[in-house]
Amino acid sequence: MRAIISACPFNNKVIMRAIISACPFNNKVIMRAMISACPFFNNKVTMRAIISACPFFNNKVIMRAIISASPFFNSKIIMRALIYACPFFNKKVMMRAIISTFPFFNNKVIMRAILSACPFLNSKIIMRALIYACPFFNNKVIMRAMISACPFFNHKIIMRGIISASPFFNHKIIMRAMIYAYPFFNNKVIMRAIISACLFDNKVIMRAMISACPFFNNKVMMRAIISDCPFFNNKVIMRAILSACPFFNSKIIMRALIYACPFFNNKVMMRAIIFAFPFFNNKVIMRAILSACPFFNSKIIMRALIYDCPFFNNKVIMRAISACPVFNHKIIMRAMISACPIFNHKIIMRAMISACPFFNNKIIMRAISACPFFNNK
């Protein structure tokens, strides 16, 4: 074999077609001989000759022969040669052949070879080919293999490649596969990679995450998002979450946010929520916050609201609060008065009076008089 290979101008299509057509090419003995005998198998010229000369390279028989015959298919040299030499690596036929012939595609060795050998795995062409060609990309086995096999899945380049290459990343099938297949989706490394790698203010991505995740109210998931996002107080992020979530007024989502967030009284978090809410006067949002929060009378929550809101005297905010049909509840009133050490401030009082069009309502007055220390100066 070495004599044939070394003696032959191996990039000649005629010679190659003759060898391929004449040879029962699925024979492991022949394949091993070719691979072991060819000291320059990573040569682009040789690889292009093999690919261009083989009109039926998408045949499962050929692919299985190459994979089974190559005891060192995880070698970076072989993989780089395949990727560099194959000008049509993004062709669906080629990709389907590779995926369908890999009966052990969930093998970490194969996956690491593909990822480590491909220095431009963030190329849209490669990624689109993978996504388009893989009719069962939502398979848990494939997903777990990709995640477990990729020791550097938190690399921004890889993540940007996946997100930018996938024109239908909002597809529920893909998203559910990612969420189901991630037994460790609350891992900080994974979360930081997703957040830092993606233009997270895209409504399409956000809606996909929310709609695809049937257990988005899970405390584990929420804590991971909140704790892992070092810039969760960014207005862009907040607006994206609010605008992308068409059902943000759902009690399930709200309770999950409140319960899962151990530092919801943090000024940074509160300011981000208040600043990012251009429509904080929406009755739907307010009712959701109040109804979903079973401990809204907690002093910690109230102090955070009052201290962190530099424009708490804004009529828009006050009208939103007055929109709450249970604002006359004694518990809410006591919480506001007891939690606010500066409740006698003229600015706050003027805001309440001017913003509340029905401040003379008996229900409101009774609630105020229900406060046992209303005679406090």
Label each residue of the chain as H, E or C. CHHHHHHCCCCCHHHHHHHHHHCCCCCHHHHHHHHHHCCCCCCHHHHHHHHHHCCCCCCHHHHHHHHHHCCCCCCHHHHHHHHHHCCCCCCHHHHHHHHHHCCCCCCHHHHHHHHHHCCCCCCHHHHHHHHHHCCCCCCHHHHHHHHHHCCCCCCHHHHHHHHHHCCCCCCHHHHHHHHHHCCCCCCHHHHHHHHHHCCCCCHHHHHHHHHHCCCCCCHHHHHHHHHHCCCCCCHHHHHHHHHHCCCCCCHHHHHHHHHHCCCCCCHHHHHHHHHHCCCCCCHHHHHHHHHHCCCCCCHHHHHHHHHHCCCCCCHHHHHHHHCCCCCCCHHHHHHHHHHCCCCCCHHHHHHHHHHCCCCCCHHHHHHHHCCCCCCCC
d(CA 246, CA 239): 12
Closest CA to 3 of 34, 30, 28: 34
Q: Is 272 inside any structural domain?
A: no
Structure token pair of residue 291: 């109804």
Assess whether 108 and 155 both reside in one domain: yes
| Boundary-marking domain end, from 45, 73, 101 | 73
Domain span at residue 31 reads 1-73
111-166 per-position pLDDT tens digit? 444 444 444 343 444 444 444 444 434 344 444 444 444 433 333 334 444 444 44
Place of tokens 């431009």: 120
Q: Are residues 56 and 102 in the same domain?
A: no
Share of the chain above pLDDT 70, in %: 0
In which band, very low, low, confident or very high, does the pLDDT at 109 lie, cut at 50, 70 and 90? Answer: very low
Checking if the pLDDT of 282 tops 50, the result is no
Q: Is residue 363 part of a domain?
A: yes
**Measured distance CA(264)–CA(161) in Å, rounded:** 34
| Same domain? 104 vs 138 | yes
Say how far residue 123 (Cα) sits from the centre of its chain: 18
Residue ending a domain, choose from 177, 198, 219: 198
Contacts of 125 (CB under 8 A, 6+ apart): 89, 90, 165
Given a contact cutoff of 8 angstroms between Cβ atoms, the answer to whether 41 and 76 are in contact is no
pLDDT value of residue 7: 54
Total count of domains within the chain: 3
Asked, for residue 250, whether it belongs to a domain, the answer is: no
359 & 314 share domain: yes
* Residues above pLDDT 90, as percent of the chain: 0
Domain boundary residue among 166, 182, 198? 198
From CA 339, how far away is CA 306, in angstroms rounded?
9
Residue 105 and residue 178 in one domain: yes
Over residues 320-368, the pLDDT tens digits come to: 444 444 443 444 444 444 444 444 344 444 444 444 443 444 444 444 4
Confidence of residue 18 (pLDDT cuts 50, 70, 90): low
Is there a domain that residue 233 lies in? no
* pLDDT at position 21: 52
Asked if residue 53 lies in contact with residue 88, where contact means CB atoms within 8 angstroms, the answer is no
Q: How confident is the model at residue 185 (pLDDT cuts 50, 70, 90)?
A: very low
State the average pLDDT for the chain.
43
Distance CA 135, CA 276 (A): 40
pLDDT of residue 144: 44
Highest mean pLDDT among 185-189, 244-248, 333-337: 333-337
Residue 267 lies in a domain: no
With both helix axes pointing from N to C terminus, report the angle between 330-339 and 362-369 in degrees, rounded to the nearest 10: 60
Q: Six-digit token pair at 146?
A: 């990709």
The pLDDT tens digits for 286-295 are 444 444 444 3
- Domain presence at residue 290: no
